[in-house]
């Protein structure tokens, strides 16, 4: 699936079954990312979110 959301500012992906690494889409303006209650194990690429102000990662692996 390909989605073009370059102006997206808030993304809530909490309570899913994501595993492994955090997602790394080209979301230049993302300010809030909630990936709580998944099974993430690493944060490789988190620095690509240069506008990120709020990061929620509660209850991950």
pLDDT at 29: 93
pLDDT at 20: 87
Among the listed residues 18, 7, 15, the one whose alpha carbon sits nearest the alpha carbon of residue 43: 18
Reported in sequence order, the residue ranges of 1-61 that DSSP labels E, i.e. its strands, are: 10-12, 19-21, 32-34, 39-42, 54-56
pLDDT at 1: 47
Output the six-digit token pair for 38. 């998944």
Q: Give me the tens of pLDDT residue by residue for the chain, a chain 61 residues long.
A: 456 788 999 999 999 999 988 767 678 899 999 999 999 998 888 888 899 999 999 999 8
**Contacts of 11 by beta carbon, 8 Å cutoff, 6+ apart:** 27, 30, 32, 33, 34
């Amino acid at each position: 699936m390909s989605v073009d959301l370059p102006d997206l500012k808030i993304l809530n992906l909490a309570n899913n079954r994501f595993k492994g690494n955090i997602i790394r889409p080209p979301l230049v303006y993302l300010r809030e990312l909630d990936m709580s209650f998944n099974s993430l194990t690493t944060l490789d690429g988190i620095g690509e979110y240069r506008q990120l102000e709020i990061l929620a990662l509660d209850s991950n692996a």
